[in-house]
Amino acid sequence: MKICITTTGTDLDAQIDAVFGRARYFLLVDSETLEVEAIENVPGAHGAGVQAAQMMVDKGVGAVLTGNVGPNAFQGLTAAGIQIHIGAKGSARDTLAAYEAGTLQTVNGPTSQGHGGGR
């Protein structure tokens, strides 16, 4: 499965960026091979969550690991069947280990107000 981790950098040692739609980078990690693709996020002034969610759909992501997710991103991700897990902290590597251990929280609703409200 392809997993998206929101980060401030381009590899598994990068720190978590806590807000999904406005994260600096999306690390797409193949859960079987640990192959990593880093995508720089260039959010617009409006609709960052929607744009980011659509990017995850287009990339075939199955799960997102982040700190917070706003209402528009939540709606887009869940409509596509993408799991959302919050509680990401530390490095992307730490967060991936927490996900594999089952210690990240799965969400059933937005965790921020959107528009950068989770920062």
pLDDT-above-70 percentage for the chain: 93
pLDDT at 45 over 90: no
Distance between CA atoms of 7 and 47, rounded to whole angstroms? 19
**Residue 29, H or E segment:** strand 25-30
Residue 116 lies in a domain: no
Q: What is the CATH number of the domain that holds 76?
A: 3.30.420.130
- This prediction has a pTM of 0.91
Q: Comparing 11 with 116, which gets the higher pLDDT?
A: 11
Structure tokens at 96: 């991936």
What is the extent of the structural domain holding 10?
Answer: 2-106
pLDDT in the model for residue 42? 85
Q: Is residue 114 part of a domain?
A: no
Query: How many domains does the chain fold into?
Result: 1
User: Long-range contacts for 30-38 (Cβ within 8 Å, ≥24 apart)?
Assistant: 30/1, 30/2, 30/3, 31/1, 31/2, 31/3, 31/100, 32/1, 36/11, 36/12, 38/7, 38/9, 38/10, 38/11
What are 65-87's pLDDT values in tens digits? 999 999 999 999 999 999 999 98
Split at pLDDT 50, 70, 90, the class of 47 is: confident
